Amino acid sequence: MIKIIKYILLDILRNKMVLGYAVFLFAITFTVFSLEDSTQKGLLSMLNLVLFIVPLVSVIFSTIYVYNSSEFIELLVSQPLKRSRIWLSIFVGLAGALSLAFFAGAGLPMLFYEPSATGLMLLLMGLLISVIFVAIAMLAAVHTRDKAKGIGFAILLWIYFSLLFDGLVLFLLFQFADYPLEKAMIGISALNPIDLGRILVLLKMDVSALMGYTGAVFKEFYGTDKGLIVSLSVMVLWIALPLLYSLKKFNRKDL
């Protein structure tokens, strides 16, 4: 298994696109922090980057990669290897490469400019979101044989998580405005890893505003160590569930 991971990791890292991604992140992070007059604003731009660009790149690159290596996968399957090992190796290779790219590109300058609690939380969220969207991409890729369809599905998932879901939440909030929704919102936020990541970072960034009533409910839950552990576990679940589901599908798939 380690051999396969090593091979995939090297293959991806040799791929110019991941290198380009890392350089792009590095350039943006560097510019954002040196251009903005306050690091607060810099962090804000970084938050947008982590919440939109990172999942997008993660999901599209992974889907394309899985489709492009379909022949390689077929070759591996013909060898005396367990299917789950092959699939997990691809996942570890992809997740490792993209996290590494994020860490080298965005993480290092962020640690250099803003080694605060907010910066560290943002870094952690970036890494988690990279990995989560690799898992989601693999689910999309295993779903259908058609490459175009698969990529379309992956992009749709990205749009859903970064835009449609929040729109739905807003719609629900106004439909049920007469009910106390503060506590329910905590549950709903767990249904979207991007929202969860954003709230965890905001709890460190916009402390004053979040001290209002609703914010206080969030703060009470997410701000404590227990809440942090729960929300990080939910993020891990967001990696594990799509991955396991895709694994189940892959095991039975007619290649």
Please give the size of the binding site for another protein, defined by CB under 8 A: 39
* Cα–Cα dist 6/161, whole Å: 31
**Pick 12 or 129: Cβ nearer another protein:** 129
Joined together, the tokens standing for residue 96 give: 């490792």
Q: How far is the CB of 206 from another protein (least distance, A)?
A: 5
Does position 198 interact with another protein (CB under 8 A)? The reply is yes
* Site of tokens 């859903």: 160
Contacts for 68 with CB less than 8 Å, ≥ 6 apart: none
Q: Applying CB under 8 A, which of residues 2, 213, 225, 252 lies at the interface with another protein?
A: 213
Q: Applying CB under 8 A, which of residues 8, 51, 60, 136 lies at the interface with another protein?
A: 51
Report 144-173 residues binding another protein (CB under 8 A).
Answer: 162-163, 166-167, 169-170, 173
**Pick 115 or 180: Cβ nearer another protein:** 180
**Pick 33 or 91: Cβ nearer another protein:** 33
Please name the residue ranges forming H helices in 69-159: 70-78, 83-102, 108-113, 117-143, 147-159
* Site of tokens 């394309």: 64
Joined together, the tokens standing for residue 219 give: 């703060």
Between the two ends of the chain, the Cα-to-Cα distance in Å is 20
| C-beta separation of 197 from 125 below 8 A | yes
**Pick 218 or 238: Cβ nearer another protein:** 218
Does position 202 interact with another protein (CB under 8 A)? The reply is yes
* Cα–Cα dist 88/26, whole Å: 29
| Binding positions for another protein, rule: CB under 8 A | 38, 40-41, 44, 47-48, 51-52, 162-163, 166-167, 169-170, 173-174, 177, 181-182, 185, 188-189, 194-195, 198-199, 202, 206-216, 218
